Amino acid sequence: MGWSTAERIVVRGKDLPGEILGHLNLGDMAFFELTGRVPDAKESKLFNAMVVTLVEHGVTPSALAARLTYLGAPEAMQAAVAAGLCGLGSVFVGSTEGVAKMLSESSAEEILQKYKRVPGLGHPLHKPVDPRTRRLFEIARETGFYGKYCRAMEEIAKSKGLTLNATGAIGALACELGLDWRAVRGLGVMARAVGLVGHLLEESRQPMAEEVWLRIEEEASRHLKP
Amino acid sequence: MGWSTAERIVVRGKDLPGEILGHLNLGDMAFFELTGRVPDAKESKLFNAMVVTLVEHGVTPSALAARLTYLGAPEAMQAAVAAGLCGLGSVFVGSTEGVAKMLSESSAEEILQKYKRVPGLGHPLHKPVDPRTRRLFEIARETGFYGKYCRAMEEIAKSKGLTLNATGAIGALACELGLDWRAVRGLGVMARAVGLVGHLLEESRQPMAEEVWLRIEEEASRHLKP
Amino acid sequence: MGWSTAERIVVRGKDLPGEILGHLNLGDMAFFELTGRVPDAKESKLFNAMVVTLVEHGVTPSALAARLTYLGAPEAMQAAVAAGLCGLGSVFVGSTEGVAKMLSESSAEEILQKYKRVPGLGHPLHKPVDPRTRRLFEIARETGFYGKYCRAMEEIAKSKGLTLNATGAIGALACELGLDWRAVRGLGVMARAVGLVGHLLEESRQPMAEEVWLRIEEEASRHLKP
Amino acid sequence: MGWSTAERIVVRGKDLPGEILGHLNLGDMAFFELTGRVPDAKESKLFNAMVVTLVEHGVTPSALAARLTYLGAPEAMQAAVAAGLCGLGSVFVGSTEGVAKMLSESSAEEILQKYKRVPGLGHPLHKPVDPRTRRLFEIARETGFYGKYCRAMEEIAKSKGLTLNATGAIGALACELGLDWRAVRGLGVMARAVGLVGHLLEESRQPMAEEVWLRIEEEASRHLKP
C-alpha cells in the first residue's frame, strides 16, 4: 500500500508529508485507506460522523475487557486495546457489517420477505427514535447522501415497528458512500480502538478494574466456600 | 465517560448527536477522549497530522500478523486487527511513549547524560532527515506548537548525529500539546487500527497471506525433510 | 469454578494441592475443566493424544503471526501467543468444532444428504490416509472409545472418497468422550497455546520473523517504487 | 520445528503418530516443545504439576476479560481466549518469569542486596504458607529436583518474612529443571489457555458476563445522569 526511499514516503500514490499530513484528518485517512481516494468535503463530513458515532459507548463489555487486561499488563497497553477489540463480533458492532451486506444484496421488499430478524433494528433504550440515526440522516441529507439504502432501512423499520438504530443507519450510509461491505465492521473496530485508548488512560488515572474484579470474584465464589 | 437516556446520548458532558456528530472529525474525537476538551482549529490540525502519520507503514510485521490471522478466521476481522495491534510494543510504535515520558521528566542536557540509547532517534532509511519530522515540525510552527520539547529533541539528535525520526517528533509534539505520556502509545495504536482495516480489506480482495505462509513453511522445513 | 481460604485452594470441588497436583497431568486437568470429573486411565490416554495432535504443525499462519508479534513486543510474550490464537477460526482448527456439532446433530446418512462440504475431510498432503487419524483411532480402539461417531465419519469419508483428516477424527472422538461440541474448538486453542510458546522460545534464540518481514515488504513494494 | 510428507509427520525429530501420540501427555508435549527432549517420569510429574497449578484461579481479571469478549463474539471463541491471555503481564502470572530470570543471574545473597521487591514473595490470602508451594516442593523432593534454586527462594522468603508464593516456587522449579527463563512466562500462558477454555464453556452454559456488564455500566454512569 506504500513505499519509501530515503527522501520520500508514498502511501497509495500520494506523498505522505506533502499531500496527506496537514491536509487529511484521521477520518479522511481512513476513507482514503478503504477507497483509495481522498474524500471531498461532503464525504469527509458524513464519513467522519459515522465513525465518530462508534467511538464511545461508555462502559461496554469491550471497555471492561480492555481495563481488566490493562490491570494485569499495564506495560502493554496495545494488548489491552487488542483484548477490547476481540469481542466486536456478531453481537455488538459487527451488525453494521450485516446491514451493509444485506442492503448490497437485496431490496427492502426482499429483505422483509427473507429475514426474520433484520440487523440494525431495535434498541433497548432509544425508542421510538435513535437520536444518532436522526442526526446521521440529517447530515446525509445536507451532504446529498441520503439515498435508496437509507430509504430502504427506514421503510423496513417502519414496517417492522422497530427503531432504526445507529448500526442500521451506519450500514445504510456505508452503502450510500459506496464502501465495500467487507470493510464495514472495520469502521466500528477503528472507532473503538480510539475509544479504548481513552478508557485505558482513564483507567490509569481512576482505576475501576481491580475493584470490579475483586467484587465479582467474591460474589462468584461466596456460595462455594465452607 | 458517557451516559444515555431514551432521548439523549452524552459523552464527557457533550451531546453526541447535537454537539459532536458533524462537528468533530475522528482525530478531534480522539483528542476529546484523551483530554476531555474539544481541540481548537490549530490543535486539530497538528493532532490529526500526528496520528495520520502513524496509520500506514506498508507491509509491517503488524500488517503481516493481521493478514495471516484473517486467513484463518475471515469471519472475525476484529480479531485480525487485534492480532496486528498486539505487536505494537517496545520495538515499534511504542517508542513514541518512551520519548514523551523522557521529555516530560528530563531536559535535553539530562537526557544526553542519562540515556545511552535515546528513543526517537535514528532511521535505517530516512537520513539525514526524516521527511515526516520535517513536515510535522512545519505544521507545529504554523500552529504555534513548535516549542521547548521539539527544540530539545532536535538538539539531542544533532548532538548524537542521528536522524530525529517520526516517533521522536510525535513524542515531542505530544508533550507540546500537553498530552499525558501514558496516552502516547495509544496514538500509534489507534492509528494502526485504521491502517490494519485497510490492509484486511486489501487482503480480502488481493490475498497475499496464504502465499507468504506456504513459501515460508516450505523454506523452514526443507532442510529437515528426508 | 474454585475458591480459596488461607489454608485451602479448591477447584471444582477438589483440593488443588492434595488431590490434583502430582495426580493429574495437564491434559487430565483440561478434561477436568471441561467435564467436571477426573478422567480414568483410558479417557486420559485418548484425550491427551487428541490434544497433543494439535500442538505443533510447524510454521503455520498462526505461528508466523505470533513470531511477527514477538518481534515488535518481546516484553509481552503473552500478547504474541494471543495474536497467534486469534486466527484459529473457521478455516484452520475451528473445523473440529464443526465436525463435533455436525455429529451431535445428524447421522451419517443425514450428513451425506445435507452437507455439500463435510468438515473434517480432505487433506492436501496426507492421502489416502492421514497417519494421525489412523493412530488416534488405534488408541480409540485400545481404550474402548471407537464407536458410532468414528464409524460415521469413516463411512462418510469413504462415500466421498476423501481422507478423514485429523480434525475430523478429533471431532468424532470428542463426541465419543461425551464432550460438549461448544468446547471442541477449545481443544485446538489450548493445544496451540502450548505450541506457540515453543515457537516463541525458538524465535528468541533463532529469529526468523525479521527476515520474513523485510523480504515480504521488499517484494510487496518493489513494483511501486520509481 | 516439524515437517510432513504424505506418509509421515515429524515433530522435532520424533514421529508424531508413532512416538508421540499415546506416549506423551499434554504436559510432556509442552516439555518436549521447550527443551527438545521427552521428559523422564520424574520430570514429567514435576513439570505437569507446575503447569497444572496455573490452570485455574477462579474468576480472575483474565477470566472476566475472556467471558466479556465471548459475550460479543461467541462465534470466535479463540479470540475470547486470546483476550484473556493479553493481560498475563508484569502484574499477574508474568512474575514466574521474573523469578526464573533473577535466580538464573544471582545468588540469594545478591538478590537480598539488589532487590527491594523480590518477585515470587507475598500473598494476600495464603500466609504464612502457600499450600501450592508446600505441595510443589514436596513433589520436587520426591522426584529429586529440590535443589539450590528452591533453597535460595526459601532463604530469601524467610529473611524477608514473606510467604513464598506459587509463582515463586514455579520460577525456582523451572530453574531446577533447566528451563530457559524466557520460556517461563509461557508456562502460565499455556496453563491459562486451558483454564480459559473451561471458563468459556461454563459461560456458554451459565452466563455471567452480561449481568456483570450491565451492573457495572449502571453503577459507572448513574452519577452522571440528570
Instruction: Please report the residues numbered 197 through 216 in chain B whose beta carbons come closer than 8 angstroms to any beta carbon of chain D.
Output: none
Peptide bond preceding A128: is omega within 30 degrees of 0, i.e. cis?
yes
> Measured between alpha carbons, how far is A102 from C60 in angstroms, rounded to an integer?
34
Q: Contact, A145 vs A174, CB < 8 A?
A: no
What residues contact residue C53 under an 8 Å CB cut-off, 6+ apart? C132, C136, C166, C170, C191, D16, D21
Listed residue (D43, D27, D17, D11) closest to D194, CA to CA = D27
Whether A44 has a pLDDT exceeding 90, the answer reads: yes
Strands B14-15, C2-4: pairing is: unpaired
pLDDT per residue over C38-50, tens digit each? Answer: 999 999 999 999 9
Listed residue (A221, D49, B203, B64) closest to C212, CA to CA = B64
> Measured between alpha carbons, how far is B34 from B17 in angstroms, rounded to an integer?
20
pLDDT per residue over C171-192, tens digit each? Answer: 999 999 999 999 999 999 999 9
pLDDT per residue over D81-109, tens digit each? Answer: 999 999 999 988 888 999 999 999 999 99
pLDDT per residue over A176-214, tens digit each? Answer: 999 999 999 999 999 999 999 999 999 999 999 999 999
Distance from CA of B201 to the nearest CA of A (A): 6
Distance from CA of B99 to the nearest CA of A (A): 15
Given C28, C30, C132, which is nearest D16 (Cβ)? Answer: C132
- Are B224 and D75 a contacting pair at CB < 8 A? no
pLDDT per residue over A97-136, tens digit each? Answer: 999 999 999 999 999 999 999 999 999 888 899 999 999 9
Position A202 scores a pLDDT of 97
- Are C5 and A225 a contacting pair at CB < 8 A? yes
Q: Determine the number of helices (DSSP H) and then strands (DSSP E) in chain B.
A: 11, 3
Segments of chain C with pLDDT less than 50: none
> Is the CB of residue B223 less than 8 Å away from at least one CB of chain D?
no
Position B79 scores a pLDDT of 98
Position D127 scores a pLDDT of 87
- Are D73 and B82 a contacting pair at CB < 8 A? no
Given A30, A89, A183, which is nearest B26 (Cβ)? Answer: A30
Instruction: Encode chain D (226 residues) as per-residue pLDDT tens digits.
Output: 778 888 899 999 999 999 999 999 999 999 999 999 999 999 999 999 999 999 999 999 999 999 999 999 999 999 999 999 999 999 888 889 999 999 999 999 999 999 999 999 999 888 899 999 999 999 999 999 999 999 999 999 999 999 999 999 999 999 999 999 999 999 999 999 999 999 999 999 999 999 999 999 999 988 887 7
B56 CB neighbours in chain A (<8 A) are 1-2, 11-12, 16, 29, 33
Instruction: Please report the residues numbered 28 through 87 in chain C whose beta carbons come closer than 8 angstroms to any beta carbon of chain D.
Output: 28-30, 33-34, 44-45, 48-49, 51-53, 55-59, 76-79, 81-83, 85-87
Position A7 scores a pLDDT of 87
> Measured between alpha carbons, how far is B89 from A76 in angstroms, rounded to an integer?
7
The chains in contact with chain A, meaning 3 or more Cβ pairs closer than 8 Å, are B, C, D
pLDDT per residue over A146-162, tens digit each? Answer: 999 999 999 999 999 99
Whether A29 has a pLDDT exceeding 80, the answer reads: yes
How far apart, in Å, are the Cα atoms of D178 and each of B188, C96, D103, D136, D181? 39, 35, 12, 16, 9
> Is the CB of residue A221 less than 8 Å away from at least one CB of chain C?
yes
B94 CB neighbours in chain A (<8 A) are 78
Per-residue pLDDT band at A225 (split at 50, 70, 90)? confident
Per-residue pLDDT band at A1 (split at 50, 70, 90)? confident
Given D33, D139, D198, which is nearest C197 (Cβ)? Answer: D33
> Is the CB of residue C194 less than 8 Å away from at least one CB of chain A?
no
> Is the CB of residue A225 less than 8 Å away from at least one CB of chain C?
yes
> Measured between alpha carbons, how far is C154 from C128 in angstroms, rounded to an integer?
12
Minimum CA–CA partner of A69 in chain D:
D87
D80 CB neighbours in chain C (<8 A) are none
> Measured between alpha carbons, how far is A37 from A13 in angstroms, rounded to an integer?
10
Instruction: Encode chain B (226 residues) as per-residue pLDDT tens digits.
Output: 778 888 899 999 999 999 999 999 999 999 999 999 999 999 999 999 999 999 999 999 999 999 999 999 999 999 999 999 999 999 888 889 999 999 999 999 999 999 999 999 999 888 899 999 999 999 999 999 999 999 999 999 999 999 999 999 999 999 999 999 999 999 999 999 999 999 999 999 999 999 999 999 999 988 887 7
pTM value is 0.97
- Are C71 and B58 a contacting pair at CB < 8 A? no
